[in-house]
Structure formats: C-alpha cells, structure tokens
Amino acid sequence: MTWNIRSASDLKENRSFRLRFLMGLVFIPLLVYVAHLGGYYFLAFVDFILFLGIIEFYRMMKKMGYRPYRAIGVGTALVLTWYIYFRSELYADLLLTATLILIAVLELFREGERFSVSHMAVTIFGVFYVGWLGAHFVYLRELPLKVGTDYGQGARYVLLPFFLGWTSDTAAYLGGRFFGKTRFLPRISPNKSLEGSASALVAAPFVAWAAKATFAPFLSGVDVVALGLITGVASQLGDLVESMIKREADVKDASNMIPGHGGLLDRFDSLLFAAPAVYYYLAIVVF
C-alpha cells in the first residue's frame, strides 16, 4: 500500500498504478474462482502464496546477516495450513512445539555461529508472520463448517479481507497522492501521509457497505461500520510492519516477482493483518 506524499516521481507512480490494475484484472478472477471451489484447490492456492511469501521474508533476513532455518520454517508454515484445514489443532500445537525445539537443538551444533537467538527468532517470526497470519485465509474459507452455514458461503467470507484490504490500500494511495502533506511515521516509511491514512479510514465503512450490497448480505449496518474500520486499521498496520522490515533490510521491495507491485509480500502485507481481523470478527461477532 502506498499512501504517498506528492513527489517528482509522479510518472513512475502512474506506470506502477497501471501495472497494478492490469495485474488485478488477472488475479481477481482467479481468486474468485478458486475461492468458490474451496477444498484442496483453495488450500493449494493459499499454500502457493505463503510459500512465495515466506521465501521472500527469509531472503530479506539473510540480507540482514541472519541465517534462518529456511526449510524448517517454510515446511512448518505450509503444514500448519493443512492442520487448520483438517481441524487438527492438537497437531498444530505439536508441530509448533517440535519446530521450536528442533531449531534450538540444531543451533547448538552450528559451528562458529554468533547471534544464535536472532537466527532462531527470525525463523519462528517468519512462521507466524507469513504462515500463521496467512493461514487465516484457510480459516475463513472453512468457517461455514464451524458456524453451520452452507459451505459455499466460505467464498464470500474469504473475499472480504481482499475486498476491504485492497480497496483500503487504493483509498490510502489516492488520498496520499492528491492530499498528502503530513508525513506519518517517517522513520518507517517517509512517503506515507496522515491524509492517506485518514482517506482509507473515511472510505472504509463505504467500502464495507459495498461489500454488503454485492456479496456479503450477512453483515448488519453495525457490522459495516465496525468491520470496515477494523479492517482499515489492520490493513494499514500490516503495510507499516512490512515497511519496517524492508527498511531494516535496506530494500525497496521484498522482491521483483510481481510487475507493478514488487514482491508478493508487498501486495499481501496488508492482507496478512486484514484476514485475521475479518475472521475473528465474523467468528465472534457475526456468527
């Protein structure tokens, strides 16, 4: 998400925005189709995204001088989604416990290593930041089995964070581009503005209302306001957290994987926070 203050790079920003729009034309129909399929198809879709995302994360950590246990972290993140899919929470607990113990023991026998705690910590953080937060897309798709609604409704639930999160991104981008003057957390991301952030929050209830009118009729009027604002805040926090990580790693983008977007984490950073926000609101408040 870019809620930028105006600068001399307007032409570059325009080109990036066009590329984002074109990529959206490709990705969004695919997302809708796979979300409606559900089951193993959606699980594989989420795992593919998480696989690429956690690889990007560990690559940034390596650039910072850390040596995460990449294979263990990637494997744990992916297997975690399968335990969630099969509703085997006990085994998910076992997996996380075993992962923590395993990397601690392996670090004992790493020759000539310093900063052992840091190497272990970034491995586990990657599992939770990308794997656990991202696994909430699976939670959302499987929510009907938990709350007793038709399984097909899970597609509507899982589309909510994408719709709310990405439209929040767009509102923040446009608000910052046209009205941005006041820098917001410049030590984290100097181009972001308070005006962009405010634009996203003002737009949030209207965006949630649009979701209710088109594909989420289960939301009440109160839900529209509450979920819109909660997701608007969560999306911006997710973007800022990834900006903090990239600034620490001294990189502009997590990778150059997606034209116009940078890396996969650059496109899904806000959604990693939006998906849990939507899931817990639906599970606790709505249903």
| Type of residue at 256 | N
In angstroms, how far apart are the furthest CA atoms of the chain? 60
What is the signed CA dihedral for 81, 86, 91, 92, rounded to 10 degrees? 30
pLDDT score recorded for residue 19: 60
Sequence spans of domains, the chain: 1-37+151-287, 38-134
Could you report the per-residue pLDDT of 142-167, keeping only the tens digit for each?
Answer: 999 999 999 999 999 999 999 999 88
Report the DSSP beta bridge partners of residue 258: 262
| Type of residue at 236 | Q
Contact in structure between 54 and 130 (CB atoms under 8 Å): yes
Could you report the per-residue pLDDT of 174-223, keeping only the tens digit for each?
Answer: 888 888 777 887 888 777 888 888 888 999 999 999 999 999 999 999 99
pLDDT score recorded for residue 233: 94
Cα–Cα distance, 77 to 74 (Å, whole number): 5
CA dihedral sign of residues 93, 82, 160, 19: positive
Q: Which residue did the predictor score with more confidence, 212 or 7?
A: 212
pTM: 0.89
Cα–Cα distance, 77 to 96 (Å, whole number): 9
Using a 10 angstrom Cβ sphere, with 0-12 exposed, 13-18 middle and 19 or more buried, the burial of residue 91 is: middle
Could you report the per-residue pLDDT of 218-249, keeping only the tens digit for each?
Answer: 999 999 999 999 999 999 999 999 999 998 88
